[in-house]
Amino acid sequence: MRRLTALLGLAIFLAACGPEIPEGATGEEIYPITCARCHGGDLSGIGTTPGIGAGSPASDEPRQYLVDTVTNGRSRMPSFGGTLTPEQIDLVVDYVMEQQGR
């Protein structure tokens, strides 16, 4: 039973780490890997996760707010500061803002 519990814990840990981002990936390539599972491929949100596309409250926020949110997390959103580099965060925020029409 202890071994099964340890294996389950390891599986949860590895799943939380998520897939590796390829070197040189664009914001458009990073978004589906790290964001779409919660915010949707079209940025409309999934379930209780809010949309972040055009017309959403996120589309009214300044760029630095979005960068800080991705980096540090906010409310139920996890931090990606340990997963993504600052450059990758900039790329994904630029992509989201472009999709918002900004």
Q: How far apart are CA 12 and CA 52, in angstroms?
A: 27
Taking only the tens place, the pLDDT of each residue in 69-90 is 999 999 999 999 999 999 999 9
For residue 56, the model assigns a pLDDT of: 96
Of 1.10.760.10, 2.140.10.30, 3.30.360.10, 3.30.450.20, the CATH number of 20-99 is 1.10.760.10
- The answer, yes or no, to whether residue 51 has pLDDT greater than 60, is yes
Q: How far apart are CA 99 and CA 83, in angstroms?
A: 23
For residue 22, the model assigns a pLDDT of: 92
Taking only the tens place, the pLDDT of each residue in 3-37 is 645 444 434 444 445 568 999 999 999 999 999 99
For residue 100, the model assigns a pLDDT of: 97
